[in-house]
Amino acid sequence: MADIAFVGLGVMGAPMARHLAEAGHRVTVYNRSTSKADEWVARHGNRSAPTPAAAAKDAAFVMVCVGNDDDVREVILGDDGALGAMSAGSVLVDHTTASAGVAREVAAAAASCGVGFVDAPVSGGQAGAENGRLTVMCGADDVATFESAREVIGAYAQKCERLGPAGSGQLTKMVNQICIAGVLQGLSEAVNFAARAGLDVDAVIDVIGKGAAQSWQMDNRATTMARGEFEFGFAVEWMRKDLAICLGEARRIGAAMPLTALVDQLYQRVEAAGGRRWDTSSLVRLLQQP
Protein backbone atom coordinates (compact mmCIF):
# COMPACT_ATOMS: atom_id res chain seq x y z
CA MET A 1 0.00 0.00 0.00
CA ALA A 2 1.17 3.50 -0.82
CA ASP A 3 1.25 6.92 0.81
CA ILE A 4 -1.02 9.05 -1.41
CA ALA A 5 -2.02 12.70 -1.38
CA PHE A 6 -5.34 13.67 -2.93
CA VAL A 7 -5.83 17.35 -3.77
CA GLY A 8 -9.41 18.44 -4.51
CA LEU A 9 -12.47 16.90 -2.88
CA GLY A 10 -15.30 17.97 -5.16
CA VAL A 11 -18.08 15.72 -6.45
CA MET A 12 -15.48 13.64 -8.32
CA GLY A 13 -12.44 13.89 -6.08
CA ALA A 14 -14.09 12.98 -2.78
CA PRO A 15 -15.34 9.54 -3.90
CA MET A 16 -12.11 8.85 -5.81
CA ALA A 17 -10.12 9.51 -2.64
CA ARG A 18 -12.54 7.30 -0.73
CA HIS A 19 -11.84 4.38 -3.05
CA LEU A 20 -8.11 4.80 -2.43
CA ALA A 21 -8.66 4.70 1.33
CA GLU A 22 -10.92 1.66 1.03
CA ALA A 23 -8.22 -0.07 -1.01
CA GLY A 24 -5.92 0.27 1.99
CA HIS A 25 -3.76 3.20 0.88
CA ARG A 26 -2.69 5.84 3.41
CA VAL A 27 -4.41 8.95 2.10
CA THR A 28 -3.76 12.58 3.00
CA VAL A 29 -6.34 14.98 1.56
CA TYR A 30 -6.31 18.68 0.82
CA ASN A 31 -9.23 20.86 -0.20
CA ARG A 32 -9.41 24.64 -0.54
CA SER A 33 -12.53 24.56 1.64
CA THR A 34 -11.20 22.97 4.82
CA SER A 35 -14.68 21.95 5.97
CA LYS A 36 -14.89 19.47 3.10
CA ALA A 37 -11.54 17.97 4.04
CA ASP A 38 -12.58 17.71 7.69
CA GLU A 39 -15.84 16.05 6.69
CA TRP A 40 -14.01 13.58 4.44
CA VAL A 41 -11.61 12.60 7.23
CA ALA A 42 -14.48 12.22 9.71
CA ARG A 43 -16.18 9.78 7.32
CA HIS A 44 -13.21 7.90 5.92
CA GLY A 45 -10.35 8.27 8.39
CA ASN A 46 -6.78 9.06 7.34
CA ARG A 47 -5.80 12.76 7.62
CA SER A 48 -5.96 16.18 6.01
CA ALA A 49 -3.29 18.80 5.36
CA PRO A 50 -3.44 22.62 5.33
CA THR A 51 -1.75 23.06 1.92
CA PRO A 52 -1.12 20.97 -1.21
CA ALA A 53 2.59 20.98 -0.33
CA ALA A 54 1.91 19.60 3.14
CA ALA A 55 -0.31 16.89 1.69
CA ALA A 56 2.31 15.93 -0.90
CA LYS A 57 5.25 15.68 1.52
CA ASP A 58 6.46 12.05 1.65
CA ALA A 59 3.71 10.87 -0.74
CA ALA A 60 4.61 8.33 -3.41
CA PHE A 61 1.65 9.51 -5.51
CA VAL A 62 -0.11 12.86 -5.60
CA MET A 63 -3.52 12.89 -7.28
CA VAL A 64 -5.09 16.21 -8.27
CA CYS A 65 -8.72 16.84 -9.25
CA VAL A 66 -9.57 20.55 -9.38
CA GLY A 67 -11.46 22.93 -11.65
CA ASN A 68 -9.41 24.43 -14.47
CA ASP A 69 -5.96 25.40 -15.74
CA ASP A 70 -5.50 28.18 -13.17
CA ASP A 71 -6.45 25.84 -10.33
CA VAL A 72 -3.99 23.22 -11.61
CA ARG A 73 -1.17 25.77 -11.68
CA GLU A 74 -2.06 27.01 -8.18
CA VAL A 75 -2.19 23.63 -6.42
CA ILE A 76 0.78 22.13 -8.28
CA LEU A 77 3.12 25.00 -9.18
CA GLY A 78 2.10 27.71 -6.69
CA ASP A 79 3.99 28.83 -3.60
CA ASP A 80 2.33 26.11 -1.51
CA GLY A 81 1.93 23.77 -4.49
CA ALA A 82 2.38 20.04 -4.35
CA LEU A 83 5.31 19.76 -6.75
CA GLY A 84 7.75 21.70 -4.58
CA ALA A 85 7.28 19.16 -1.76
CA MET A 86 7.43 15.99 -3.87
CA SER A 87 10.46 13.71 -3.81
CA ALA A 88 12.35 12.56 -6.89
CA GLY A 89 10.84 9.29 -8.10
CA SER A 90 7.33 10.09 -6.91
CA VAL A 91 4.42 10.43 -9.36
CA LEU A 92 2.00 13.30 -9.94
CA VAL A 93 -1.38 12.45 -11.53
CA ASP A 94 -3.71 15.22 -12.67
CA HIS A 95 -7.35 14.14 -13.06
CA THR A 96 -8.56 17.68 -13.82
CA THR A 97 -10.15 18.27 -17.22
CA ALA A 98 -7.82 21.01 -18.41
CA SER A 99 -5.91 22.07 -21.52
CA ALA A 100 -3.24 19.98 -23.20
CA GLY A 101 -0.98 23.02 -22.88
CA VAL A 102 -1.10 23.09 -19.09
CA ALA A 103 -0.52 19.32 -19.01
CA ARG A 104 2.69 19.76 -21.00
CA GLU A 105 3.69 22.70 -18.79
CA VAL A 106 3.28 20.64 -15.62
CA ALA A 107 5.00 17.64 -17.21
CA ALA A 108 8.08 19.76 -17.95
CA ALA A 109 8.13 21.22 -14.43
CA ALA A 110 7.76 17.75 -12.90
CA ALA A 111 10.54 16.32 -15.06
CA SER A 112 12.90 19.06 -13.88
CA CYS A 113 12.26 17.84 -10.31
CA GLY A 114 12.68 14.17 -11.14
CA VAL A 115 8.95 13.60 -10.62
CA GLY A 116 6.84 11.51 -13.00
CA PHE A 117 3.68 13.03 -14.42
CA VAL A 118 0.45 11.65 -15.91
CA ASP A 119 -2.39 13.81 -17.23
CA ALA A 120 -5.40 11.65 -16.56
CA PRO A 121 -8.83 13.26 -17.06
CA VAL A 122 -11.79 11.03 -16.37
CA SER A 123 -15.19 10.20 -17.85
CA GLY A 124 -18.15 8.62 -16.14
CA GLY A 125 -19.53 11.45 -14.06
CA GLN A 126 -20.33 11.51 -10.39
CA ALA A 127 -21.96 8.07 -10.57
CA GLY A 128 -18.81 6.61 -12.11
CA ALA A 129 -16.70 8.15 -9.36
CA GLU A 130 -19.03 6.94 -6.61
CA ASN A 131 -19.12 3.41 -8.03
CA GLY A 132 -15.43 3.20 -8.93
CA ARG A 133 -16.26 2.78 -12.63
CA LEU A 134 -14.49 5.72 -14.25
CA THR A 135 -12.75 5.67 -17.62
CA VAL A 136 -9.36 7.37 -17.34
CA MET A 137 -7.61 8.79 -20.42
CA CYS A 138 -3.89 9.25 -19.83
CA GLY A 139 -0.93 11.02 -21.31
CA ALA A 140 2.57 10.31 -20.01
CA ASP A 141 6.04 10.79 -21.45
CA ASP A 142 7.31 7.73 -19.59
CA VAL A 143 5.52 4.39 -19.91
CA ALA A 144 6.86 3.07 -16.60
CA THR A 145 5.45 6.13 -14.81
CA PHE A 146 2.05 5.45 -16.34
CA GLU A 147 2.12 1.78 -15.37
CA SER A 148 2.88 2.60 -11.74
CA ALA A 149 0.07 5.17 -11.69
CA ARG A 150 -2.37 2.76 -13.32
CA GLU A 151 -2.08 0.37 -10.38
CA VAL A 152 -3.26 3.13 -8.04
CA ILE A 153 -5.90 4.53 -10.41
CA GLY A 154 -7.42 1.04 -10.62
CA ALA A 155 -9.07 1.69 -7.25
CA TYR A 156 -11.68 3.85 -9.02
CA ALA A 157 -11.39 3.03 -12.72
CA GLN A 158 -12.93 0.39 -14.94
CA LYS A 159 -10.56 1.36 -17.77
CA CYS A 160 -7.29 3.28 -17.73
CA GLU A 161 -5.15 3.62 -20.85
CA ARG A 162 -2.17 5.67 -22.02
CA LEU A 163 -2.91 7.42 -25.33
CA GLY A 164 0.51 8.98 -25.87
CA PRO A 165 2.88 11.55 -24.33
CA ALA A 166 1.90 14.27 -21.86
CA GLY A 167 -1.18 16.14 -23.07
CA SER A 168 -2.65 13.12 -24.85
CA GLY A 169 -5.05 12.39 -22.01
CA GLN A 170 -6.46 15.91 -22.19
CA LEU A 171 -6.76 15.75 -25.98
CA THR A 172 -8.64 12.46 -25.68
CA LYS A 173 -11.00 13.97 -23.11
CA MET A 174 -11.71 16.73 -25.62
CA VAL A 175 -12.70 14.08 -28.17
CA ASN A 176 -14.97 12.56 -25.51
CA GLN A 177 -16.72 15.86 -24.80
CA ILE A 178 -17.13 16.66 -28.51
CA CYS A 179 -18.91 13.32 -28.97
CA ILE A 180 -21.17 13.86 -25.96
CA ALA A 181 -22.17 17.37 -27.06
CA GLY A 182 -23.29 16.19 -30.50
CA VAL A 183 -25.12 13.13 -29.19
CA LEU A 184 -27.04 15.17 -26.61
CA GLN A 185 -28.26 17.69 -29.16
CA GLY A 186 -29.43 14.90 -31.47
CA LEU A 187 -31.11 13.10 -28.58
CA SER A 188 -32.78 16.33 -27.46
CA GLU A 189 -34.28 16.85 -30.90
CA ALA A 190 -35.41 13.21 -31.07
CA VAL A 191 -37.08 13.25 -27.64
CA ASN A 192 -38.84 16.52 -28.39
CA PHE A 193 -39.97 15.26 -31.82
CA ALA A 194 -41.39 12.05 -30.34
CA ALA A 195 -43.33 13.97 -27.69
CA ARG A 196 -44.76 16.50 -30.14
CA ALA A 197 -45.73 13.68 -32.51
CA GLY A 198 -47.88 12.18 -29.75
CA LEU A 199 -45.75 9.09 -29.25
CA ASP A 200 -45.08 7.36 -25.94
CA VAL A 201 -41.50 8.55 -25.48
CA ASP A 202 -40.50 5.80 -23.04
CA ALA A 203 -41.80 3.13 -25.41
CA VAL A 204 -40.03 4.71 -28.37
CA ILE A 205 -36.75 4.88 -26.48
CA ASP A 206 -37.11 1.26 -25.39
CA VAL A 207 -37.47 0.17 -29.02
CA ILE A 208 -34.87 2.31 -30.75
CA GLY A 209 -32.46 1.83 -27.86
CA LYS A 210 -32.06 -1.77 -29.02
CA GLY A 211 -30.83 -0.65 -32.45
CA ALA A 212 -28.30 1.61 -34.11
CA ALA A 213 -29.52 4.74 -32.28
CA GLN A 214 -28.47 3.37 -28.91
CA SER A 215 -26.03 5.39 -26.78
CA TRP A 216 -25.12 5.81 -23.12
CA GLN A 217 -26.94 9.14 -23.13
CA MET A 218 -30.09 7.51 -24.51
CA ASP A 219 -29.96 4.70 -21.97
CA ASN A 220 -29.42 7.00 -19.00
CA ARG A 221 -30.99 10.37 -19.89
CA ALA A 222 -33.71 10.11 -22.54
CA THR A 223 -36.65 9.34 -20.24
CA THR A 224 -35.66 12.00 -17.69
CA MET A 225 -35.19 14.50 -20.52
CA ALA A 226 -38.79 13.84 -21.60
CA ARG A 227 -39.95 14.54 -18.03
CA GLY A 228 -37.91 17.75 -17.76
CA GLU A 229 -35.68 16.38 -14.98
CA PHE A 230 -32.14 17.73 -15.08
CA GLU A 231 -30.54 16.92 -11.73
CA PHE A 232 -28.33 14.03 -12.78
CA GLY A 233 -24.70 15.01 -12.53
CA PHE A 234 -22.41 16.85 -14.93
CA ALA A 235 -23.50 20.50 -14.96
CA VAL A 236 -23.93 22.81 -17.92
CA GLU A 237 -21.35 25.25 -16.56
CA TRP A 238 -18.77 22.47 -16.42
CA MET A 239 -19.56 21.34 -19.95
CA ARG A 240 -19.15 24.89 -21.22
CA LYS A 241 -15.74 25.04 -19.57
CA ASP A 242 -14.78 21.81 -21.33
CA LEU A 243 -16.18 22.93 -24.69
CA ALA A 244 -14.21 26.17 -24.45
CA ILE A 245 -11.06 24.08 -24.11
CA CYS A 246 -12.12 21.95 -27.09
CA LEU A 247 -12.87 24.95 -29.28
CA GLY A 248 -9.63 26.65 -28.32
CA GLU A 249 -7.60 23.57 -29.24
CA ALA A 250 -9.58 23.22 -32.49
CA ARG A 251 -8.61 26.74 -33.47
CA ARG A 252 -4.98 25.98 -32.66
CA ILE A 253 -4.82 22.84 -34.84
CA GLY A 254 -7.20 24.00 -37.56
CA ALA A 255 -9.99 21.48 -36.89
CA ALA A 256 -13.50 22.48 -38.01
CA MET A 257 -16.15 21.92 -35.30
CA PRO A 258 -19.36 23.65 -36.40
CA LEU A 259 -21.69 21.38 -34.40
CA THR A 260 -19.66 21.70 -31.21
CA ALA A 261 -19.64 25.48 -31.56
CA LEU A 262 -23.41 25.47 -32.06
CA VAL A 263 -24.03 23.26 -29.03
CA ASP A 264 -21.85 25.55 -26.90
CA GLN A 265 -24.07 28.47 -27.98
CA LEU A 266 -27.16 26.46 -27.05
CA TYR A 267 -25.72 25.71 -23.61
CA GLN A 268 -25.16 29.45 -23.23
CA ARG A 269 -28.91 29.89 -23.74
CA VAL A 270 -29.59 27.20 -21.11
CA GLU A 271 -27.40 29.11 -18.67
CA ALA A 272 -29.28 32.33 -19.45
CA ALA A 273 -32.52 30.51 -18.65
CA GLY A 274 -31.24 29.67 -15.16
CA GLY A 275 -29.80 26.25 -15.99
CA ARG A 276 -26.17 26.78 -15.06
CA ARG A 277 -26.25 23.81 -12.65
CA TRP A 278 -28.70 21.64 -14.59
CA ASP A 279 -27.10 18.56 -16.08
CA THR A 280 -26.05 18.49 -19.71
CA SER A 281 -29.22 16.74 -20.89
CA SER A 282 -31.05 20.04 -20.29
CA LEU A 283 -30.39 21.01 -23.91
CA VAL A 284 -33.85 19.60 -24.57
CA ARG A 285 -35.38 22.36 -22.41
CA LEU A 286 -34.79 24.84 -25.23
CA LEU A 287 -36.99 22.72 -27.50
CA GLN A 288 -39.69 21.91 -24.95
CA GLN A 289 -40.63 25.55 -24.49
CA PRO A 290 -43.59 26.83 -26.57
Other beta carbons less than 10 A from residue 5's beta carbon: 29
Pairing of strands 157-162, 134-138: parallel
Say if CB 120 and CB 98 are below 8 A apart. Answer: no
Other beta carbons less than 10 A from residue 223's beta carbon: 15
Residue 276 neighbours by CB under 8 Å, 6+ apart: 235, 236, 237, 270
DSSP 8-state symbol, 232 = S
Alpha-carbon distance 285 to 272, whole Å?
Answer: 12
Closest CA to 138 of 121, 151, 156: 121
CA distances from 278 to 163, 235, 289 (A): 31, 5, 16
Q: Which of 36, 57, 159, 173 is catalytic?
A: 173
Say if CB 76 and CB 64 are below 8 A apart. Answer: yes
For the question of residue 173 being annotated catalytic, the response is yes
How large is the angle between the packed helices 100-112 and 69-77, nearest 10 degrees? 10
The DSSP-derived string for 3-28 is: EEEEE--STTHHHHHHHHHHTT-EEE
Say if CB 100 and CB 170 are below 8 A apart. Answer: yes
Residues with catalytic roles: 173
